[in-house]
């Protein structure tokens, strides 16, 4: 992966399968508040956002409604896959990613060992630079999570955290992006 830092002008954010059913599965439990905060952060960074879900009418359930609240247009335009595991194998999703015109991708999937790993590997193979937001997802076990993150990193993805990518995109707290992110970063601090 290049050492060039991502900027709001050259980066698209992909949120993959942050669905209420999946977020409730045992060790995968993710706060729905966190999904909304990630999107709010994306708005603060002013980069394009591509959302996708898989089998919303099954156990995975609909996309977290908090995302619809903070990104109604993107929510309405989300790519609803019909079971394709690798989101980049879905022609509509791949086209939406290409349509952003951005070659730097921040990928956050609800499961690192399924939702995140395959689109990341495919995007890297297609010449994108990718940063994976490790704390935006999880896996059924710590070991599975470690293996997925290592596989993506070995393939060339940068592994980052929510706070790290937000501050990288902000560059300066005095910038418009930085000013928009200050309250969001504050909300991410555990109470």
Mean pLDDT of the chain: 83
* Residue 191 forms part of a structural domain: no
Q: Which of 115, 132, 166, 169 is catalytic?
A: 115
Q: If pLDDT is split at 50, 70 and 90, which confidence band does 187 have?
A: low
Does 95 map to a domain?
yes
Whichever domain contains 116, its CATH number is 3.40.50.850
Q: What is the pLDDT of residues 134-179, one digit of tens each?
A: 988 888 889 999 999 999 999 999 999 888 888 888 888 887 777 7
**What is the distance between the alpha carbons of residues 191 and 11, in angstroms, rounded to a whole number?**
30
The pLDDT value recorded for residue 91 is: 97
Contact assessment for residue 134 and residue 161, using Cβ atoms and an 8 Å cutoff:
yes
154 vs 9 pLDDT, higher one: 154
Can you tell me the distance from the alpha carbon of 58 to that of 43, in angstroms, rounded to the nearest whole number? Answer: 29
Q: Measured between alpha carbons, how far is 186 from 175 in angstroms, rounded to an integer?
A: 17
Confidence check: pLDDT of 123 > 90: yes
Question: Domain for residue 86, yes or no?
Answer: yes
Residue 72 resides in a domain: yes
| Residue 108 near residue 133 (C-beta atoms within 8 A) | yes
45 catalytic? Reply is no
Give me the pLDDT at residue 29, please.
Answer: 46
Predicted local confidence at residue 125, as pLDDT: 98
pLDDT tens for residues 18-65?
877 677 665 554 444 454 445 445 555 567 999 999 987 887 878 888
Mean pLDDT of the region 75-103:
95
Query: Which alpha helices (H) appear in 46-141, and where do they start and end?
Result: 65-70, 72-76, 91-99, 117-125
Residues in contact with 153: Cβ distance below 8 Å, sequence separation at least 6, in sequence order: 159
Residue 119 domain flag: yes
CA 49/CA 71 separation, integer angstroms: 9
- Residue 124 backbone phi and psi in degrees, to 5: -60, -45
- Domain range for residue 109? 14-182
64 lies in a domain?
yes
The pTM (predicted TM-score) of the whole model is 0.87
Q: What percent of the chain has pLDDT over 90?
A: 45
Q: Residue 146: its pLDDT value, please?
A: 95
> Based on the structure, what is the number of domains in the chain?
1
């Amino acid at each position: 992966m290049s050492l060039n830092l991502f900027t709001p002008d050259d980066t698209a954010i992909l949120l993959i399968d942050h669905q209420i059913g999946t977020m409730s599965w045992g060790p995968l439990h993710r706060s729905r508040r966190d999904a909304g905060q990630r999107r709010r952060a994306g708005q603060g960074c002013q980069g394009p956002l591509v959302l996708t879900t898989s089998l919303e009418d099954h156990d995975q359930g609909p996309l977290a409604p908090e995302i619809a609240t903070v990104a109604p247009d993107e929510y309405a335009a989300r790519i609803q896959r019909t079971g394709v595991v690798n989101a980049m194998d879905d022609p509509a999703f791949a086209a939406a990613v290409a349509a952003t015109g951005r070659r730097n991708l921040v990928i956050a999937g609800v499961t690192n060992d399924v939702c995140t790993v395959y689109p990341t590997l495919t995007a890297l193979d297609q010449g994108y630079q990718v940063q994976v937001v490790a704390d935006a997802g999880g896996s059924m076990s710590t070991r599975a999570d470690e293996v997925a993150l290592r596989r993506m990193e070995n393939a060339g993805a940068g592994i980052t955290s929510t706070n790290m990518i937000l501050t990288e995109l902000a560059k300066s707290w005095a910038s418009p992006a930085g000013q928009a992110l200050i309250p969001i970063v504050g909300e991410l601090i555990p109470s």
